Structure 1
Amino acid sequence: MSDSQTASASDLPRAWPFEEARKLADHVATRSSTGADERPALLETGYGPSGLPHIGTFGEVARTSWVRQAYTALTGRPSRLLAFSDDMDALRKVPDNVPQREMLQKYIGQPLSRVPDPFGTHDSFAAHNNARLCAFLDSFGFEYEFASSTQYYTSGRFDAALLRVLEVHDQILAVILPTLGPDRRATYSPVLPLHPHTGEVMQVKMDAIDAVAGTVRWTDPTTGEVFETPVTGGHAKMQWKADWAMRWYALGVDYEMSGKDLIDSVRLSGRICKILGGTPPAGLTYELFLDEQGQKISKSKGNGLSVEEWLRYAPPESLGQFMFNQPQRAKRLYFDVIPKTADDYLTHADKARALQVENPAGNDLRANPAWFIHKGSVPQDAGSPVPFGMLLNLASVANADTPEVLWGFIRRYDAAVSPQTHPMLAELVKHAIAYYADFVRPAKTFRAPDEKERAALVDLAETLRGFEGEAADASTLQNLVFEIGKRHGFEPLRSWFGCLYEVLLGQKEGPRFGGFVALYGVAETIALIDAALLRDTQV
């Protein structure tokens, strides 16, 4: 495939990063058509260092990295990922989750890179959060280049683009002003000078623009003093929508994704980028995460799920799986999505390992989320012989509070399995104990069976007695459970399994019951049924 060609839709693996990679390849081919621009494709993600990195930060960098991976596979061309920190933005409000809040209050309006670090570990608040961002991204193995807005402004990296802004200043205003309310329109300027005395980022109307001198003239609204400020060398910065456009133009950004809440901003910044003489990047609009009640997740409200919380209950690969799934569909990001997402990852990892052997360059492998999550090569120990959901149910019936309790059942089920041979299973066991303790055990509610259910449970216990002392596989036991449900007239049949979960496990949903019996043990399952029936008679 030549640099100017991309695969047809039918040739692409059926995975959204490849669709995005084709858009990126088309964008790069357009700007490279003259042969004068052969630089690597530039993909960008943005970060506001007024707060610590969060789960949305992970999602945007992960998804952009997958587009980059698909682009490389599709074209063979080089690319770069720039993690850009807007650390020259002004501190607008003091975060709730930091120390020395009263001290920070004194620096409202100052660039984040000039605000002291309330944690006392870095030169500025921005430097502290930037360091946390890099450590955060490094912990997941992302390949990226960090960029600081302050460094780019003060080093002159943006100087040519800022002078271009002054040349087309009136055209930019003509685009932005109609989108603002009357009060904001009266004082708006795309250029924000830094006050030469206080260092504050000034949001004031410009009295005059001198594109030749590269300066803006403005009046301090408090003192009435008039200043003439150069826009170059870090003496001024841009309002964020104009800043976004200027950055695209100055750096030649080829791809940047953003959330649904920024659709209008993307369009506006794209228009400004064209006014400057650039081409807006290709990109994906992803949907926002929702909380337990279906409301949009907000950092300030804290109504979502943090990366640290997710990683207490499931491995990082499962978080990658969550971010990979349908980015253009709104999804609930709450604790109850973790078990299914973890098992989705395990299923894909199992399939990917087989596909790596059968057809390592095939589209089926490259459509598999595990191929992206593991950066193109899925380790042979990535899967687990026991699903996460099964471990949770085993922890529930065993009332397990240590991993060794679960390992006792696992070793009896398969003596060849150990933490050393199956490290992912070892991780899942630890996570299952934590998830059970925090979410399953407090929510367990058993119900009594009705007469029909009681008769079926007695039948199931008696039938299972015939398997005591024998090696019954999960498939045989699952068929047995099905037959008993049919024999007792459960319609639909899922109501029979609902009975098993609610009466025996104290929960609404559960595993494939045959697999659960094989892992937990036939004798133990019989005892579980007998205890449930006895509990019913004692109510």
Structure 2
Amino acid sequence: MTRDHLRHVAETSQSWPFEEAKKILEKLKGEVPSKGYILFETGYGPSGLPHIGTFGEVARTTMVRHAFSLLSDIPTRLYAVSDDMDGLRKVPDNIPNKDIIAPHLGKPLTQIPDPFGTHQSFGHHNNARLKAFLDSFGFDYEFISSSEQYKAGTFDVMLQKVLEHYEEIINIILPTLGPERRATYSPFLPVSPLSGRVLQVPILERHPERGTIVFEDEDGKKVESPVTGGHCKLQWKADWGMRWAAFDVNYEMSGKDLIDSVKLSSRICRVLGKEPPEGFNYELFLDQQGTKISKSKGNGLSIEDWLKYAPQESLAYYMYQSPRKAKRLYFDVIPRQVDDYVNFLNAYETQTPEQRLNNPVWHIHQGHPPQVELPLTFGILLNLASVCNTEDKAVLWGFISRYASEATPPKMPLLDRLVEYALIYYRDFVKPNKHYRAPTDIEKEALEDLHKSLKDVSPDAEALQALVFEVGKRHNYTNLREWFLCLYQILLGQDEGPRMGSFIALYGVEEMRRLIEEAILRK
């Protein structure tokens, strides 16, 4: 298919990355920006380490960027901006050598010693972690240090404009503040020449003609300081709007909790003479109880947790689907995300161009999904590990090779990875919670019938599935879900399980009959 044809298909695609990319194009009204490219931006607070939300924001932005690149020939860039000039408010709990940090509280992160002893500052250390994190996922981005941009004068023109439009900007922010904060608020946070700390103090005088402000330093003396050259930084809402104006950002997304901040920063951006970027507000993650995930509470799932049990493509799929819908983020969601990702991957090769551009794997793999067709789901692999009660990879591959002779680890590396993940997930989550129950007398009769019926059946998955259904109907299971729940609880020791026909075909008919024999004798 030609690129022109693919672009035509993309223009009618309703997948959310294309919808977002179309918003950018509509705003351009057919004109190329004077800077010659479209700028996407993501922000990062480097007082902590990158986390699953960091991945989600960059992954989603990358999907929109790639969708835009199909709709338009205008070049694109992605800035990953670190707010490393922010003053550190408290000593983090998860660092060594906390005693060397405490005396430097209030200073920009790039002016605080590195407690890990590996970089010139704490900010540089965390920036390096961010870059390594993004690099590990293969993201295409340009790293931007806010501290370096302030000091290099990149923001000087806009900082001067903030000073000139001081009252206008103040009047945007003040109605959102409480009485006490309103009395001392200023968009400028001067850096103390005495201590190097970022000060949150009233501005006593403003001199736009000189580009300076006057404030009281920590020793009580008045200081006149330029607002440019890194001598001041802005409060974050003003900083956000100023940065959009200075860089001429075209697109930035943010969490639903920042909707009001986006509105304020957009107004400030307009005061500075630029249009704010397009973007959308994604929903926040919830824990298993439906409560908002909080880093301080530790009630969430870390990216390390996810990648221990599933491939990163499944995490990208989780981020792709329904970004405006609040989703629960806990361990039990992982198997379903893996299987959904694999199902979309399996379907891709036979889809029409229209279907492909609406397939999540097109966005996850930047338009080039790998050509794979897996004979088994992650859920079935989990149940196979459960029934075999094994953590040995070779045991699972023994069953897989018998079920699908063409499947080998070298030929199907993704399946091999899923086998490894399934064993780890089984060890940590399934095995500790397995509980087999004995069958009732009525259930024994149904199991004996299934045991007998399996003796002469074809090992085909569809035939086996039909047989299981028929046995359930013969024993008056009007709701066949109850029959399958019975099989899961008695045979697998859990409340959920696989499609039984596929599982029996994989596990083996005779092995299944022996499993039923053991269950019937259970007391």
Instruction: Note whether the superposition's TM-score is higher than 0.5.
Output: yes
Match of 2:515 in 1: 528
Distance 1:68 1:212 in 2: 41
278, 284, 287: which one pairs with 2:283?
A: 287
Question: Is 2:320 the counterpart of 1:330?
Answer: no
Secondary structure in 1 matching 2:114: coil
Choose 483-492 or 109-118, whichever is displaced more. 483-492
Cα distance between partner residues in 2 of 1:371 and 1:428: 21
- Matched-pair contact (CA < 8 Å) for 1:28–1:41: no
- Kindly provide the amino acid, as one letter, of the partner of residue 258 in structure 2: L
Are the counterparts in 2 of residues 48 and 87 from structure 1 also a CA contact under 8 Å?
yes
1:466 and 2:456 matched: yes
Question: Which of 329, 336, 357 does residue 340 from structure 1 map onto?
Answer: 336
Greater alpha carbon shift after TM alignment, 316-325 vs 297-306: 297-306
Aligned residue among 356, 359, 364 for 1:368: 359
> Counterpart in 2 of 1:3?
none
Which structure 1 residue ranges, 4+ long, deviate > 6 Å from structure 2? 7-10
In the other structure, the counterpart of 1:275 is 271
Letter in 2 for 1:345: Y
The structural deviation recorded for 1:8 is: 10
Contact kept in structure 2, 1:353 and 1:379, CA below 8 Å? no
> Offset of 1:77 from its aligned partner?
2.4
| 8 A Cα contact 1:27 1:281, kept in partner | no
CA distance in 2, matches of 1:11, 1:123: 48
Alignment equivalent of 2:317, drawn from 312, 315, 321 = 321
Which moved further from structure 2: 151-160 or 101-110? 101-110
Equivalent residue for 1:17?
17
SS in 2 for 1:212: coil
1:402-417 equivalence runs, <5 A: 402-417=392-407
Per the TM alignment, residue 342 of structure 1 is displaced from its structure 2 partner at its CA by 0.2
Cα distance, 1:289 vs structure 2: 0.5
Instruction: Pick from 229, 245, 252 the counterpart of residue 248 of structure 2.
Output: 252
Match for 1:493 among 480, 487, 494?
480
Cα distance change on mapping 1:243 and 1:62 into 2, 3 Å: same
Structure-1 residue corresponding to 2:172: 175
Residue 293 (structure 1) shift: 1.6
How far 1:9 sits from its partner (Å)?
11
- State the match for 2:4 in structure 1: none
Q: 1:417 to 1:8 in 2, by over 3 A?
A: closer
Matched, 1:398 2:392: no
Change (3 A) 1:9 1:209: farther
1:61-140 to structure 2, matched below 5 A, reads 61-140=58-137
Q: Distance in 1 between matches of 2:455 and 2:73?
A: 61
Contact 1:353 1:378 in 2 (8 A): no
2:328 & 2:399 partners in 1: Cα distance?
A: 33
Unpaired runs of 5+ residues, structure 2, are 1-6
User: For 1:312-367, what per-residue CA distance to the aligned partner results, in whole angstroms no more than 9, with x for missing partners?
Assistant: 10111101111111000011110000000000000010111333xxx4xx221111
Secondary structure of the corresponding residue to residue 120 of structure 2:
coil
Question: Distance between the aligned counterparts of 2:431 and 2:325, measured in 1?
Answer: 31
Amino acid at match of 1:392: L
How far apart, in 2, do the equivalents of 1:49 and 1:24 lie?
29
State the alpha-carbon separation in 2 of the partners of residues 269 and 9 from structure 1: 35
**1:200-249 residue CA offsets vs partner (Å, 9 max, x unmatched):** 000011011111111110112x4221001101111110000000000011
Tell me, what secondary structure is at the counterpart of 2:215?
A: strand
Q: State the alpha-carbon separation in 2 of the partners of residues 315 and 415 from structure 1.
A: 24
Computed over aligned residues only, the root mean square deviation of the Cα atoms, in angstroms, reads 1.5
Contact 1:194 1:200 in 2 (8 A): yes
Q: CA deviation at 1:106?
A: 1.5
- DSSP 3-state at the match of 2:394: helix
Shift of 1:442: 0.5
Is it true that 1:448 corresponds to 2:445 in the alignment?
A: no
Offset of 1:11 from its aligned partner? 4.6
- CA distance in structure 2 between the partners assigned to 1:354 and 1:413 by the alignment: 24
Distance in 2 (CA, whole Å) between partners of 1:10 and 1:425 is 31
Other-structure match for 1:4: none
Q: Does 1:352 align with 2:348?
A: yes
Residue 504 of structure 1: aligned partner? 491
Q: How far apart are the structure 2 equivalents of 1:272 and 1:454? A: 72
Equivalent of residue 480 in structure 1, options 467, 489, 496? 467
* Equivalence for 2:3: none
State how far apart, in whole Å, the 2-side matches of 1:326 and 1:8 are: 24
Deviations 1:37-92 (A, max 9, x none): 26211110000000110000000000000000111112232211110110101111
Letter in 2 for 1:13: S
- The one-letter amino acid paired with 1:448 is A
Deviations 1:457-489 (A, max 9, x none): 11111101123xxx6111111111111111212
After superposition, give the CA deviation of every residue in 1:372-413 in whole Å (9 maximum; x if it has no partner).
1111111113x4221000000000000111211111111111
Structure 1 residue 275: deviation in Å? 1.2
Equivalent residues in 2 for 1:182-193, closer than 5 Å = 182-193=179-190
Which residue identity lines up with residue 384 of structure 2 in the other structure?
L
Partner of 2:236: 240
Residues 297-319 of structure 1: per-residue CA shift (max 9 Å, x gap): 11222211111110110111101
Return the TM-score normalized by structure 2: 0.96
After TM superposition, give the deviation of residue 452 of structure 1 in Å: 2.8
More moved, 95-104 vs 226-235: 95-104
Identity percentage of aligned residues:
56
Matching residue of 1:152? 149
1:421 to 2:411 alignment:
yes
Residues 282 and 116 of structure 1: CA distance in aligned 2, closer, same or farther (over 3 Å): same
CA distance in 1, matches of 2:455, 2:156: 81
CA separation in 1, counterparts of 2:209 and 2:392? 72
CA distance in 1, matches of 2:68, 2:408: 39
Show the counterpart of 1:27: 27
Task: Establish whether residue 306 from structure 1 lines up as the match of residue 302 from structure 2.
Answer: yes
In the alignment of these two chains, the number of paired residues is 517
| Structure 1: gaps (5+ residues) | 1-6
**After superposition, what is the alpha-carbon deviation per residue over 1:126-170, rounded to whole angstroms, capped at 9, x for unaligned?**
111111111111111111111000111000100001001001001
Name the amino acid aligned to 2:483: W
Q: CA deviation at 1:449?
A: 2.4
Which SS does the other structure have where 2:443 is aligned?
helix
CA distance in 1, matches of 2:173, 2:17: 32
